[in-house]
């Protein structure tokens, strides 16, 4: 079942460890990136807690450590000519698409950042769909979506589709979407475009609606320090568990937005790698767009804060601050996530030891923590927010 797999966004937090994981498992891997995520670091003035080597050096280190080769392609998905040349050169059997601006706060800074997010994400994916259809419609597209597409409806969330009976007639339709930011809206637009392309051109695609990912180490990234992936902790790109663990490492209060009863699906980074490979090894049929809800557990912000407080073994304060987002702070949340389990997913559930390891990583790189980058500066309630400009860590 080894295959040729092209990973878009292969220099990023998830793209890089996915490339290593699939390479180690015998697949022929190529990666595409334009280093836009690194540009965001320069723009924001804050970098990954963990130092990140340049992509070429990372690939050389992987080759030296394992004898396995990863093929790099440097360019932008919005450039259709570059993307066409890349697909024709690598001739992938499957494409894994991580190459999008992934931050909800970043998309809400102001008009320019909202437009950039939607242009980058939607146009890049639309280019990809057209080129798959033109070059090789048998290519299986595995696209990273987000559970944030659904919002927090007052009904159970199904996996992509819902059976509806209306005025005596029944149909299976895409689950209603209530995205919470211009970033999440871009993902909804992607989903609609992919669904249309599968119905119209007979493409095959799997949309992985992923929850919040935590963790920084995989079996592959720990082989050498220069194989590490990102650890984002700032209020714009950092995820909540990372932010809490960094705060705990420096004795900063754990800042919970609003009431803290907002609940989200979450999963370990190692499970992301499993899920992607399971989707690849069990491809969608011609003309089919499958949707898998990719998470293993659900936690409220309050629960996460209490777990980090316990794992820190310190008397860390939990502080509630005004929620910069416009979101339901009290809501029903129950989402189906059985399809990947049925394919063989073996989850790594959140443990105290994992949280302790994240805190230990934060302590190890404590001199790279920029305290000014931790608190939110982007408000959903204003069309012009203050951009983070904390001093860049080198």
Q: One of 187, 206, 272, 296 is an active-site residue; which one? A: 187
Q: Is the dihedral of CA 98, 200, 83, 93 positive or negative?
A: positive
- Whether 40 sits among the annotated catalytic residues: the reply is no
C-alpha span between 148 and 326 (Å, rounded): 13
Handedness of CA 80, 81, 87, 88 (dihedral sign): positive
**Integer Cα distance of 323 and 389 in angstroms:** 21
| Distances from the Cα of 242 to the Cα of 19, 71, 121, angstroms | 22, 31, 25
First to last CA, the chain: 42
- The partner residues of 169 in beta bridges, in order of sequence, read 166
Please tell me what DSSP assigns to residue 227. Answer: G
DSSP strand pairing (297-300 vs 263-268): antiparallel
Could you give the CA distance from residue 59 to residue 195 in angstroms, rounded to a whole number?
34
Helix (H, G, I), strand (E, B) or coil at 375: coil
Active site residue 71: no
129 vs 127: CA distance, rounded Å: 6
For the chain, give the number of residues.
394
- β-partners of residue 172 are 163
64: three-class secondary structure by DSSP: helix
Q: In terms of Cα–Cα distance, which of 282, 134, 125, 258 is closest to 202?
A: 134
CA 334 to each of CA 17, 66, 152, 312: distance values in angstroms, whole numbers, following the listed order = 29, 42, 9, 29
DSSP structure class, residue 28: E
**Active-site pick, 13, 21, 106, 183:** 183
CA dihedral defined by 21, 27, 32, 38, rounded to 10 degrees? 10
**Catalytic residue among 86, 146, 206, 221, which?**
146
Taking residue 90's Cβ as centre, other Cβ atoms within 10 Å add up to 19
Q: Is 81 helix (H, G, I), strand (E, B) or coil?
A: helix
Three-class DSSP category at 8: strand
130 tagged catalytic: no
Report, as residue numbers or ranges, the catalytic residues. Answer: 146, 183, 187
């Amino acid at each position: 079942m080894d295959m040729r797999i092209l990973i878009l966004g292969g220099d990023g937090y998830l793209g890089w460890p996915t490339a290593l994981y699939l390479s180690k498992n015998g697949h022929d891997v190529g990666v595409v990136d334009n280093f836009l995520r690194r540009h965001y670091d320069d723009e924001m003035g804050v970098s990954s807690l963990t130092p990140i080597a340049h992509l070429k050096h990372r690939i050389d280190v992987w080759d030296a450590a394992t004898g396995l080769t990863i093929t790099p392609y440097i360019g932008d998905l919005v450039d259709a000519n570059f993307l066409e040349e890349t697909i024709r050169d690598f001739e992938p059997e499957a494409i894994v698409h991580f190459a999008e601006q992934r931050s909800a706060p970043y998309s809400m800074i102001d008009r320019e950042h909202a437009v950039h997010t939607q242009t980058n994400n939607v146009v890049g994916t639309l280019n990809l769909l057209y080129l798959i259809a033109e070059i090789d419609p048998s290519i299986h597209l595995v696209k990273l979506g987000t559970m944030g597409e659904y919002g927090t409806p007052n009904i159970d969330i199904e996996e992509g589709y819902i059976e509806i009976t209306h005025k005596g007639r029944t149909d299976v339709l895409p689950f209603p979407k209530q995205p919470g930011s211009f970033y999440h809206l871009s993902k909804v637009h992607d989903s609609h475009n992919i669904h249309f392309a599968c119905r119209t051109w007979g493409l095959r695609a799997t949309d992985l609606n992923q929850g919040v990912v935590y963790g920084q180490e995989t079996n592959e990234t720990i082989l050498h320090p220069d194989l590490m992936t990102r650890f984002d902790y700032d209020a714009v790109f950092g995820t909540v568990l990372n932010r809490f663990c960094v705060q705990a490492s420096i004795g900063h209060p754990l800042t919970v937005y609003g009431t803290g009863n907002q609940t989200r699906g979450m999963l370990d980074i190692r499970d992301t790698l499993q899920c992607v490979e399971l989707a690849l090894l069990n491809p969608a049929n011609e003309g089919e767009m499958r949707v898998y809800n990719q998470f293993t557990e659900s936690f409220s912000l309050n629960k996460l804060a209490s777990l980090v407080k316990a794992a820190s073994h310190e008397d860390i304060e939990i502080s509630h601050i005004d929620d910069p987002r416009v979101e339901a702070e009290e809501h029903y949340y129950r989402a189906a996530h059985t399809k990947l389990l049925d394919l063989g997913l073996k989850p790594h559930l959140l443990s105290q030891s994992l949280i302790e390891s994240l805190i230990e990583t934060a302590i190890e790189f404590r001199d790279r923590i920029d305290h000014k980058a931790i608190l939110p500066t982007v408000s959903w309630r204003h069309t012009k927010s203050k951009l983070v400009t904390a001093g860049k860590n080198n």
